Amino acid sequence: MSDIKLFTLAGNTLTQLTSSSSPLEKALQTLFESNLETLLGVRFLASEFSTTNGGRMDTIGIDENNYPVIIEYKRVSSENVINQGLFYLDWLMDHKGDFELLVRDRYGKDVADEIEWSAPRLICIAADFNKFDSHAVKQMSRNIDLISYQRFGDELLLLDQLTTVSTKASTATSFSNVKSSKYKTNSQSLADADENLANLYSDIETYMISLGDDITQKTLDKYFAFKRIKNFACVEIKTQLNVIRIYLKVDPTSIELEEGFSRDVRNVGHYGTGDLEVTIKTHQDLERVKPLIEKSYEVS
């Protein structure tokens, strides 16, 4: 756990807040489940979900990019939530119908039809993890996040993403999607882009990733998602228009919108997440959007 210190300010006097990282209790799990979208960008599906092999998953949900998510909480130091979570991931892949039924019943058929099965996620939450935990997940080609927490009194909760490991969809999955749809995937659009547009995207991608070592990139059919704990940018390649569109988690009312560059899409249907759409045509546009990307990154 990083050595983070928080202080309260009263006049000219600073007082350090005492943190607590005691073992996670059921009440804190309930707090997480009541605020999954705010904390993790995950829509809640079920708590203590029983599997057919006698197991019980702490929390399951579906994230912003429609990946199935299993959340396991480490309550005692001896508990191996990583291996336990991997066991549940394998069970989930063999019982997709059970998960799809849950999604359909809670969020409707349209959401259930969009479930992304190429790389389901495991999120492990604990008061702390050791260096062996972090090393172990980096050796696995699975989507795993290790997130530690600290409480400061009764009013503050700090989350720290210690390790995130990402795996990409298999080639077979990608080709299958291409054959079943008359529309190009975002990856195909990038492959078909001219040199200038491809170079512009490469510079956007490099900039996004340079913002922090806690960033992962997810390749979906309709967009590329850049995320910390939650998405902070979703990128679409528009070869027919010769532009790149970025969706950011920035309140459109907090900035001065510019026609042809930035647009409020709170009430406009679009892929990915974010209420602000920015259209990038040149490297000059990229320089202009960087402060907005950083703003979105900071709140994600």
pLDDT-based confidence at residue 214 (cuts at 50, 70, 90): confident
pLDDT-based confidence at residue 11 (cuts at 50, 70, 90): confident
- The residue extents of the domains of the chain are 7-165, 176-298
pLDDT given at position 249: 96
pLDDT given at position 141: 79
Q: Is 175 exposed, middle or buried (0-12, 13-18, 19+ CB in 10 A)?
A: exposed
Class for the domain spanning 176-298: alpha beta
Asked if 6 and 15 touch (Cβ cutoff 8 Å), the reply is no
In the predicted structure, residue 175 carries a pLDDT above the cut 80: no
pLDDT given at position 78: 61
The span from the CA of 227 to the CA of 216, in Å, is: 6
Q: What is the dihedral of CA 20, 21, 27, 33, to 10 degrees?
A: 120
pLDDT given at position 182: 64
Tokens of 272: 């990915």
* More confident call, 241 vs 4: 241
C-alpha to C-alpha distances, 257 to 45, 94, 215, 274, 289, nearest whole angstrom: 36, 47, 27, 15, 12
pLDDT-based confidence at residue 101 (cuts at 50, 70, 90): very high
Least confident of 39-53, 134-148, 196-210, 232-246: 134-148
Per residue in 251-267, pLDDT tens?
999 999 999 999 999 99
pLDDT-based confidence at residue 167 (cuts at 50, 70, 90): low
Give first-to-last CA distance, the chain, whole Å.
19
Per residue in 104-134, pLDDT tens?
999 999 999 999 998 899 999 988 888 888 8
Average pLDDT estimate for 95-101: 95
Class for the domain spanning 7-165: alpha beta
In the predicted structure, residue 152 carries a pLDDT above the cut 90: no
* Residue 75: CB atoms within 10 Å: 17
pLDDT given at position 22: 59
Contacts of residue 130, Cβ cutoff 8 Å, sequence gap at least 6: none
- pTM, 2 dp: 0.79
What percent of the chain lies above the pLDDT cut of 90? Answer: 61
Give the orientation angle of helix 96-107 with respect to helix 81-94, to 10 degrees.
90
pLDDT given at position 177: 39
Per residue in 43-93, pLDDT tens?
999 999 999 888 899 999 999 999 999 999 987 766 788 989 999 999 999
Average pLDDT estimate for 15-23: 71
Of 174, 158, 221, the residue nearest 20 (C-alpha): 158
Tokens of 112: 């259930």
